[in-house]
Amino acid sequence: MPKQPLSTYFLFSQEERLKVKAEHPSYSICEIAKELGRRWAVMSPEVKQRFQQMAEQARQKYDQDMAAHRQANPTPPAVAQNANQNTAPTSKLPGTTVPQPGGPGYAALTGSDYGSFLLQ
């Protein structure tokens, strides 16, 4: 399965991170991320446009690769049906389920009408 393309900001940060590290070798990961965010915020729209074009080209290539992947690996009908079904989440404990909204156990867990819960 093809990997999703990087966003505009991630393309920028991938290119700019090495420059920030070279200028500030003592910066931590957090400080580098802050500096990248600051540079992105003050960057002119004309420069950002270059990264937007790169991201769009990567997205188009991804869409083409994904179409080819889907054609080469069709999803079996049984798997597609199971993916669309809404099944209730189950607890990790065998034989138990997670309380669903509107059910009697849900109200007790959320604390709504807690006084009547205590009287039971």
Let me know if residue 90 belongs to a domain: no
Q: Along the chain (120 residues), what's the average pLDDT of each consecutive run of 10 residues?
A: 92 94 95 95 94 95 93 74 58 66 55 55
Q: How many domains are there within the chain?
A: 1
Let me know if residue 16 belongs to a domain: yes
So what's the pLDDT on residue 73? 86
Let me know if residue 62 belongs to a domain: yes
Helix residue ranges, H only, the chain: 8-23, 29-42, 45-72, 77-84, 104-110, 114-119
So what's the pLDDT on residue 115? 58
Here the CATH number for the domain that contains residue 28 is 1.10.30.10
User: What's the domain range around 30?
Assistant: 1-75
So what's the pLDDT on residue 116? 57
pTM assigned to the model: 0.58
- C-alpha span between 81 and 83 (Å, rounded): 5
Let me know if residue 58 belongs to a domain: yes
Let me know if residue 115 belongs to a domain: no
Question: What secondary structure letter does DSSP report for 7?
Answer: P
Let me know if residue 25 belongs to a domain: yes
Tokens of 56: 């769009």
Let me know if residue 95 belongs to a domain: no
Tokens of 10: 């991630």
Let me know if residue 83 belongs to a domain: no
